[in-house]
A and B are shown apart, each in its own frame.
Chain A
Amino acid sequence: MMAAALRLSAALRLVLNGYAVRPQHHARAFCKAPPDDAKPVEEVKESLTKKQQENGDKVIILQRPEDSLIDEKLQQNTKKCEETPMKDRPQAFENDKEEKPEQSYDKKIIFQVNHDHHTNERQEASQMGELPVTEGKHDINTDFSCNEKQVRSEDELTMPQDVTVSASKEEQVVKEHSPVEKSDDRRATAQKKLHDLLTSLASADPIPVEPMVRLSRPKARQKKTGTFKEQKKATEQPTESVIEPELVLATKEVAESLGGDVETTESELLSTLRLHSTSTSCDDKPAIQLSDLFVGMKVERNPRKPVKDLPRHKRYDQDTQQSSPRSGVEYQKMWPRATGRPVPRTLARVELFGTEHLDIFNAKSLECKKEAVPTSTLLPVWEVAHKWELQQSVSHPNDNAFTEMIQWTKQGKLWTFPINNEVGLEEEKSVGFHEHIFLEQHLEGWCPRRGPIRHFMELVCTGLSKNPHLTVERKQAHIQWYKNYFAEKEEILKEIGAIETSQ
C-alpha cells in the first residue's frame, strides 16, 4: 500500500518536476511513508518509462483537474467570504460545512504539489499554475490532515494499490458538488480555523494566476478525463484481489533472502507486481491522454550523464585482466556470462555498403582517370620503407623449415630455386658458353698445324675449356702466354724440329 503510494508520489514528483532529481523527504508529505522508502530517481524513471501507459497517465490525470478546480473553488470561497459579513459568520460556517472536507482534501493534494514547487523550483511552479498559498493555509491543511487521514485510511483499506484512485474518487465527488453531510463536532474548531484563514486570505492580495495555466489546459479535455475516470472506477474493484496472499508471502521471503532493507525491497517488489496486475485491467485510452498532457508542458529533462570520453586510442586489450585485476564477481558483472546459444538477431542488419554516400568524390571521373594515368609515386623512398615495414609487421617466427628457407632465400643466403649453378654470376651472363669451351680458334694464325706444339696446345685448350673457375679473358690470356713463349723459343724449336720449317 505504502509502496504504491510511494511510487505514485515519486512518479508524480517526477512528472511535475520534469524528471528533476528531488530530495527524498518531499515524497513523504504525500503518504507518510517511512523515510528510507524513497526510491532512487533512476529507478523511478525507469519504471516510469516502462509503465508510462499505466502509471504516468494516472498521475497526471490526478493533478490536472485539481489545479483548475481549485482555482475556481478558491475563487468561490474567497468570494463567499467576501460576501458574508463578519456578523453572519455562523451562517457562513454552515455554508462552508457542506463542502469543506472534500475541498480541503483536494487542496491538500495541490498543496503538496505546490509545496514541492515552492521549496524547490519556482519556475516550474509557474508552469503548473501557482496557487495563492499562504502560510495560513499551511496551517489549515495540517489541521485537516488528521480528518483526511481517517477518510483516506478507509479508502486505502479497500483499495490499497492505488492512492490515485482515492484521490480521483474524491475529485469526482467534488466535481459533482454532492453535499456530504457530516455533523461531526470535532470539525467545528477546524472549520472555524479555516474560515478565519479564508477571510484573511480574502483580505490579502491573491497572487495572480499566470496565463500559462490556461494555455496548457484546454477545457475540452477535462471532459475526457472525467469519462476516463468513470471507466477506471468500474475497473478498479477487481484489481484488489489480483495479488494472492501466497504471492505476498513469497515476496516477503524473497525480500528477506536478498537482505539489506527488507521492507523496502518487499514493497518495491509488491508494487511491481501490482503494476503488472493492473496493467491487464487498464484500458487503452491513456496512450492518447499522455501525449495530450505533455502538449502544453515544458518538460525539463535532467541533463544526460556526461559520457566519459574514452581515451582516443582504445587499446585492443583494454579489458584484459592483466591491466586491472578484478575479482571474479565484479568481472562477471561487467561482462555477463555468455550463453552457448546463438545470438538472436534482435538488431537490424547493418548494411555495410548499402547506405547513402558522402558524395564527396565522383566515382565516374575517378574511373576515367584510372584508365588514363598510371600513378607514379611522389616519394619513392617513403613507399619502399613503408612497404618494407608492412611486410615486417606480419613476419613472425618461422613455422617450419620451408618458411625458414623462404626467409633465407629472400635474404640472399640460399641458392634460389629452381637450382641454377650460374646464379649470382653476373659477369659471366654476357659470355656465351661457346667462348669458354671452343678455345681452338685462338690457336689459329700462330700455332703450327701439326706436330708436338699443336698437340700440346690442343691439350691446353681442352684443359682450359673444362676449368670452371677461370673467366674467358683468363683462358685467352693463358693461350696468349703460350703464344708469346713459343714465339720467344722459336729458334730452338726450329732447331729441334718441333716446328716445321715451311719449305
Chain B
Amino acid sequence: MSVNLSSRTSIRLLHSLMKRSSVYSTGILHHGLTTSSQLSTDKIIVPNRIPRSSTAILEALASTVSRDTSGPHYKYHDDPYLTPASNLVKRTFSLSKEAGRKAARCIRDENASLFTHRPDDPFIEDFFPKTSYTEESNVSEETLHDLIQKCSVSDAITVYHICKSKAVELSDKVRQELLELVSYYNCEDPLDKDWVEERWYRQGVLTVRKTWKDNGLAEELFESLSNRGPAAYSALIRGMAQYLQVDRAWQLYQECREKDIPLDAHTYNSLIRVASYLRDAFELRWQLVKELLTTMAESGIDPNLGTLNSTLEALGQVASWRQARQISLQVLAEFNSLGIQPSLASYYYLLTIHCRERGPISHILIDILDHIEGKEFSVEDPKDTFFFVTAMGISRNHVQSLDVARRVDDLLHTGSNYDLIGDSYKESIYYRHYFGLACSSLTIDDFMLLYQELVPHIYTPEPGVMGEVLRSVGVQEAFEYLPQLWSDMIVFDHTNQERLVTLVLSALSKYRPSQEQEQLTRQLADIAWDIWTRVQGQDETRRQKVSWTGQMIGDLITTLVYCGEYGKASEVMKEANTNAHNVLGAIPITSLHTLNEVAVDKKDADIAVSIVIYALDAGHQEAGEMAKQLQSKLTLSTQNRAKLSSVFGSELLSSP
C-alpha cells in the first residue's frame, strides 16, 4: 500500500535525483542548448559518473515515505479487523508472523536433501538450506575461513573440531581469526539477521555478571597459537573484558606489559570500560582509568570515540562520586580538542553522570540539545540507542519540562534518527515518559491532541499512563473524552484493571447531564452499563479480575441515575443487595441518597425499601432518616411495611 501511496512522489524524486546526477542535465540538456545557439564557443563537459550503491535509489524512495500515524504499521495487515492495538496483541502478532518464517526455515534446513533443484543464476544462498557439518564432512581451512567471514559461530566451532579430529593442518592465521570470532561472541551464535521482530521485542537486558566461558574454546585457541602476538592478546583481553572476566583480562594485560607486547586502542577501551570492577573506592577507580589513559598516551596509541565512551562509562559507574561531573566535562573537552566528536552514547553517559535521581537538578540535557539539535546521527556505539529514552526520562523526571521533551522528540524525528530509538521496549518507555509528562503539564484538550496522534498505532499506553490520563480527565471533568478512552481501553485490554475501572467510574460519577449533551449522556450511560456487564460477566477462572468495591458500585449507581437509567441503576442495587458478599465495603450514602430520591419520585417502593435496609446494614446513620422520609412520601405496601418494621422496629414507623 505504501508503494502506491508514495509512487507519485517517488517518481518526482527520481527525476530530481537524475537531474542531480548531472549526466542528464549538463550532458544532454546543455548540449542541446548549445547546438541551437552558440555552437563554437562552449566546450562540452561530460561529468564523471557518480557511483551509487545498489540501494541508493531505494533509500531515496524510502526517505519520501514518512511514518503514517493514522494507519497500522507496515508489518501488520492493513485491515481494521486484523490490526492489533494492545501491546500484547501487537507483540503476539509480530512474533507469530516471524515464527511462521522460522518454522518454514526449520523444515527447509531439516530436509536439505529435498531442495537440490537450483535453476537460478546468480545463485541466491539465502533461499537454500544451510550446509550442515558432520564428522563425515569434507572440511578444509578454506571452509573454516568462509564460515568465520559469515560470522556463523557454531558452524565454525564444529568445523574446527572436525579439522582437529581429522588432523587437518590449520594455519595460525585462521586460528587467530577464529579466536577473534569466538571471543567476540563468547562461543555463542548471534541472533540471525532475519529475526528482526525477535530482536525488536527482545528486552535489552544488560547482564552485569561474568558470562565469559572459562577454559573455553577461546582460551584453547589462544594456547594453540604458536606465536602469541599483540593480536592474540588483544582478542582475548577484549573478549574477557566484554564478558566481564575482569580479573583475568587484567592479568593478561599485565602479562602484555611485562612482555612488552603493544596493544591497540580498542583493547585499552575495553579495559577502561571494566576498570570500575577492579577497584572499590570511587577515587581509586578513576585513578585506574587515568592510569590506563596515560599508558595509552605514553605508548603512542591514538584514542578514538570508543576511548571517550568507555571513559565516560567508567565515570558513569562512579556517578555518585562528587567529582564525577567535573571530570566528565574535562574528558569531553579533552577529546573534543583531539578532534573526536562525541556520539549519542557519550551524551547518554553524560546524562547518567549529571542527572542523578538523588542529586541536584542538572540542566545539562538542555546544553546537549543546544549542541546537537537538528543533527542527524548514525550508530557508532552500541549504547547510542540508550540516548533518546534516557533523555526523555530525564525531561520528565529530572528537568520536568515539556519544552525539553518536545526538543528531544524533534531530535528523534530528525532525519533517520528514529532508527536509534533502539527496540520496542525502549520505544514504549520513551513514549511512556513523553505521555506522562504531557499529561501532567498540558490541559486535557491539548493532551488529547497528542493522544489522538500517537495512539494506538505508534504507541499503546500502558495501564499506568492510562490511569494518569483518566485521572486528569476526572479532575478536569472532560467527559467528552471518556467514550474514546473507554473504547481504547477495551481494545488495549485494560478493562480488567481494577484501578483503571475505578478511575473511569469515579470520573463518570462526576458527570451531571445538561440538555445539549444528550448524546454524551447516552454514551456515558452505555459506558457505565458496559462496565457493569463486563465485570459481572468476567471469567471466574481469570487470574486478574475486577472485584467490586462499595465505592465503585456507588459511582456506578450515581452515574446511571444521573444519566437517566434508573432501571439499570436499580438492577445494580438489587444485585449489590443480594450478592453483598461480592462487594468490598459499603456503598457510600451519597449514592444511596441519589438513587433513593429517584426511587421515591418514581414511587418504586420496593427499591426504596431495599435501599433503606441496605443503608442500615451498611451502618449508615442516615438510614433512620431515610426510612421516615420514605414513609411520609410513599404509601407502603404491608409487605414493605413489615420489612421496614422488622429492621427498624415498629415504633419508628408509627411515630409520625
Chain A residues in the interface with B (C-beta under 8 A): 307, 309-322, 325, 328, 335-340, 342-343, 345, 347, 349-363, 365-367, 369-370, 375, 377-382, 384-386, 388-406, 409-413, 416-418, 423-426
Q: A353-B333, A393-B382 are in contact. Are A312 and B55 (CB under 8 A)?
A: no
Residues in A neighbouring B3, C-beta threshold 8 A: 400-402
Chain B interface SS verdict (over half):
helix
- B100 an interface residue at 8 Å Cβ cutoff? no
- B151 an interface residue at 8 Å Cβ cutoff? yes
Q: Are A338's CB and B57's CB within 8 A?
A: no
Residue B177 contacts which of A369, A381, A406, A416 (CB distance < 8 angstroms)? Answer: A381
Q: Are B317's CB and A312's CB within 8 A?
A: yes
Residues in B neighbouring A425, C-beta threshold 8 A: 121-122
Q: Are A399's CB and B293's CB within 8 A?
A: no
Q: Are A350's CB and B426's CB within 8 A?
A: no
What is the CB-to-nearest-CB distance from B149 to chain A, in angstroms, rounded to a whole number? Answer: 8
Q: Are A357's CB and B333's CB within 8 A?
A: yes
Residue A402 contacts which of B65, B191, B471 (CB distance < 8 angstroms)? Answer: B65
In the complex, which residue of chain A has the Cβ closest to the Cβ of B366?
A: A345
Which stretch from B398-406, B592-600, B628-636 is at the chain A interface? Answer: B398-406
Q: Are A357's CB and B334's CB within 8 A?
A: yes
The CA-CA distance from A337 to B442 in the complex, in Å, is: 11
Q: Are B231's CB and A379's CB within 8 A?
A: yes
In the complex, which residue of chain A has the Cβ closest to the Cβ of B464?
A: A321
The CA-CA distance from A88 to B73 in the complex, in Å, is: 109
In the complex, which residue of chain A has the Cβ closest to the Cβ of B331?
A: A358
Q: Total number of A-B contacts with CB less than 8 angstroms? A: 277
Give 22 A-B contacts (CB < 8 Å), ordered by A residue: A313-B317, A320-B432, A322-B464, A328-B468, A342-B403, A361-B293, A361-B303, A362-B297, A363-B337, A366-B339, A367-B339, A379-B180, A382-B238, A385-B185, A388-B151, A390-B380, A393-B385, A394-B419, A396-B423, A402-B3, A410-B55, A417-B54
The CA-CA distance from A16 to B116 in the complex, in Å, is: 93
Residues in B neighbouring A347, C-beta threshold 8 A: 361-363
What is the CB-to-nearest-CB distance from A368 to chain B, in angstroms, rounded to a whole number? Answer: 11
Q: Are B440's CB and A338's CB within 8 A?
A: yes
Residues in B neighbouring A426, C-beta threshold 8 A: 122
Please give 5 more A-B residue pairs, beta carbons under 8 A apart, in addition to A325-B464, A382-B181, A392-B193.
A358-B290, A360-B296, A397-B94, A400-B74, A411-B126
The CA-CA distance from A402 to B149 in the complex, in Å, is: 28
Q: Are B151's CB and A337's CB within 8 A?
A: no
What is the CB-to-nearest-CB distance from A381 to chain B, in angstroms, rounded to a whole number? Answer: 4
Q: Are B429's CB and A317's CB within 8 A?
A: yes
Residues in B neighbouring A380, C-beta threshold 8 A: 177, 180
What is the CB-to-nearest-CB distance from A337 to chain B, in angstroms, rounded to a whole number? Answer: 5
Q: A309-B320, A343-B403, A409-B55 are in contact. Are A400 and B397 (CB under 8 A)?
A: no
Q: Are B401's CB and A381's CB within 8 A?
A: no
Residues in B neighbouring A398, C-beta threshold 8 A: 74-75, 196
Q: A307-B320, A316-B386 are in contact. Are A382 and B183 (CB under 8 A)?
A: yes
Which stretch from B351-359, B533-541, B583-591, B602-610 is at the chain A interface? Answer: B351-359
Q: Are B127's CB and A413's CB within 8 A?
A: yes
Residues in A neighbouring B403, C-beta threshold 8 A: 342-343
The proximity string for B residues 320-362 relative to A, scoring 1 for CB distances below 8 Å and 0 otherwise, is 1000001101111110111100000000000010101110011
In the complex, which residue of chain A has the Cβ closest to the Cβ of B178?
A: A381
Residue B6 contacts which of A307, A352, A400, A404 (CB distance < 8 angstroms)? Answer: A400
In the complex, which residue of chain B has the Cβ closest to the Cβ of A385?
A: B184
Q: A357-B333, A378-B264, A406-B55 are in contact. Are A412 and B124 (CB under 8 A)?
A: yes
In the complex, which residue of chain A has the Cβ closest to the Cβ of B239?
A: A382
Which stretch from B388-396, B480-488, B517-525 is at the chain A interface? Answer: B388-396
The CA-CA distance from A337 to B200 in the complex, in Å, is: 32
- B371 an interface residue at 8 Å Cβ cutoff? yes
Q: Are A319's CB and B357's CB within 8 A?
A: yes
In the complex, which residue of chain A has the Cβ closest to the Cβ of B203?
A: A317
What is the CB-to-nearest-CB distance from B459 to chain A, in angstroms, rounded to a whole number? Answer: 14
What is the CB-to-nearest-CB distance from B447 to chain A, in angstroms, rounded to a whole number? Answer: 10
The CA-CA distance from A307 to B324 in the complex, in Å, is: 15
The proximity string for B residues 200-219 relative to A, scoring 1 for CB distances below 8 Å and 0 otherwise, is 10000010100000000000
Q: Are A319's CB and B397's CB within 8 A?
A: yes
Q: Are A389's CB and B190's CB within 8 A?
A: yes
Residue B429 contacts which of A316, A389, A397, A424 (CB distance < 8 angstroms)? Answer: A316
- B462 an interface residue at 8 Å Cβ cutoff? yes
In the complex, which residue of chain B has the Cβ closest to the Cβ of A335?
A: B397
Residues in B neighbouring A370, C-beta threshold 8 A: 302
Residue A366 contacts which of B73, B264, B338, B404 (CB distance < 8 angstroms)? Answer: B338
The CA-CA distance from A400 to B74 in the complex, in Å, is: 6
Q: Are B330's CB and A352's CB within 8 A?
A: no
Q: A352-B329, A378-B231 are in contact. Are A406 and B59 (CB under 8 A)?
A: yes
Chain A interface SS verdict (over half):
loop
Q: A322-B462, A338-B402, A382-B180 are in contact. Are A314 and B206 (CB under 8 A)?
A: no
What is the CB-to-nearest-CB distance from B90 to chain A, in angstroms, rounded to a whole number? Answer: 11
Residues in A neighbouring B73, C-beta threshold 8 A: 397, 399
- B437 an interface residue at 8 Å Cβ cutoff? yes
- The listed residue with most B CB atoms (<10 A of its CB), out of A319, A349, A354, A401, is A401
Q: Are A379's CB and B122's CB within 8 A?
A: no
Q: Are B363's CB and A350's CB within 8 A?
A: yes
- B56 an interface residue at 8 Å Cβ cutoff? yes
Residue B368 contacts which of A340, A352, A367 (CB distance < 8 angstroms)? Answer: A352
Residues in A neighbouring B642, C-beta threshold 8 A: none
- B235 an interface residue at 8 Å Cβ cutoff? yes
What is the CB-to-nearest-CB distance from A330 to chain B, in angstroms, rounded to a whole number? Answer: 13
- B294 an interface residue at 8 Å Cβ cutoff? yes
Q: Are B293's CB and A360's CB within 8 A?
A: yes
Residues in B neighbouring A354, C-beta threshold 8 A: 333
Which residues, 216 to 235 on B, are CB-close (under 8 Å) to A? 230-231, 234-235
The CA-CA distance from A347 to B364 in the complex, in Å, is: 10
Which residues, 364 to 391 on B, are CB-close (under 8 Å) to A? 364, 366-368, 371, 379-382, 384-386, 389-390
Residues in B neighbouring A418, C-beta threshold 8 A: 57
The CA-CA distance from A176 to B79 in the complex, in Å, is: 98
What is the CB-to-nearest-CB distance from B261 to chain A, in angstroms, rounded to a whole number? Answer: 11
What is the CB-to-nearest-CB distance from B544 to chain A, in angstroms, rounded to a whole number? Answer: 13
Q: Are B293's CB and A400's CB within 8 A?
A: no
In the complex, which residue of chain A has the Cβ closest to the Cβ of B360?
A: A347
Q: A370-B302, A381-B177, A401-B3 are in contact. Are A312 and B208 (CB under 8 A)?
A: yes
In the complex, which residue of chain B has the Cβ closest to the Cβ of A340?
A: B441
Residues in B neighbouring A379, C-beta threshold 8 A: 180, 231, 234-235, 238, 264, 266
In the complex, which residue of chain B has the Cβ closest to the Cβ of A319?
A: B397
Q: Are B191's CB and A392's CB within 8 A?
A: yes
Residues in A neighbouring B471, C-beta threshold 8 A: 328
- B651 an interface residue at 8 Å Cβ cutoff? no
What is the CB-to-nearest-CB distance from A319 to chain B, in angstroms, rounded to a whole number? Answer: 6
- B37 an interface residue at 8 Å Cβ cutoff? no
What is the CB-to-nearest-CB distance from A396 to chain B, in angstroms, rounded to a whole number? Answer: 5
What is the CB-to-nearest-CB distance from B188 to chain A, in angstroms, rounded to a whole number? Answer: 12
Q: Are B57's CB and A361's CB within 8 A?
A: no
The CA-CA distance from A68 to B479 in the complex, in Å, is: 74
What is the CB-to-nearest-CB distance from A417 to chain B, in angstroms, rounded to a whole number? Answer: 4
What is the CB-to-nearest-CB distance from B325 to chain A, in angstroms, rounded to a whole number? Answer: 9
- B159 an interface residue at 8 Å Cβ cutoff? no
The CA-CA distance from A391 to B386 in the complex, in Å, is: 15
The CA-CA distance from A350 to B478 in the complex, in Å, is: 41
In the complex, which residue of chain A has the Cβ closest to the Cβ of B420?
A: A394
Residues in B neighbouring A361, C-beta threshold 8 A: 293, 296-297, 303, 334, 338
Residues in B neighbouring A403, C-beta threshold 8 A: 58, 62
Q: Are B367's CB and A320's CB within 8 A?
A: no
Q: Are B467's CB and A390's CB within 8 A?
A: no
- B61 an interface residue at 8 Å Cβ cutoff? yes
Q: Are A395's CB and B199's CB within 8 A?
A: yes
The CA-CA distance from A335 to B303 in the complex, in Å, is: 40
- B460 an interface residue at 8 Å Cβ cutoff? no
In the complex, which residue of chain A has the Cβ closest to the Cβ of B148?
A: A381
